[in-house]
Amino acid sequence: MLSSNGNPVPNQFVIRGNDGAESFQSYDTVIAEVKDGKTLLDPKWDCSKTTMKYAASFLGVDGKKDIQKRIKSGEYVVQNLNAAK
């Protein structure tokens, strides 16, 4: 990911899969995934100010309150995205 100044941000990544999915990863934790029109969030989506900032940027929303509103409405689904496979 890039900062608002256009510089690479350490430990914050957008991963694009061959299947069309896009994921946002902070350090070693997948925080959000968008696939087939569905948005999934890991329960750790609100773990730090920095992660929240870049998760909101990835999702194209205004911040924590907007994400919470979308979870409550069912637009975003919270589920474990980091289960051992």
Q: Could you tell me whether strands 76-78 and 22-26 are parallel, antiparallel, or unpaired per DSSP bridges?
A: unpaired
Mean pLDDT value of segment 17-27: 93
* Residue 3, in any domain of the structure: no
Mean pLDDT value of segment 51-78: 96
What is the average pLDDT value for the chain, to the nearest integer? 93
* Residue 7, in any domain of the structure: no
Residue 2 has pLDDT above 90, yes or no: no
* Residue 6, in any domain of the structure: no
pTM: 0.89
Q: Which residues contact 47 (CB under 8 A, 6 or more apart)?
A: 26, 29
Radius of gyration in angstroms for the set of CA atoms belonging to the chain, rounded to a whole number: 12
pLDDT tier at 20 (50, 70, 90 boundaries)? confident
Question: How many domains does the chain divide into?
Answer: 1
* Residue 83, in any domain of the structure: no
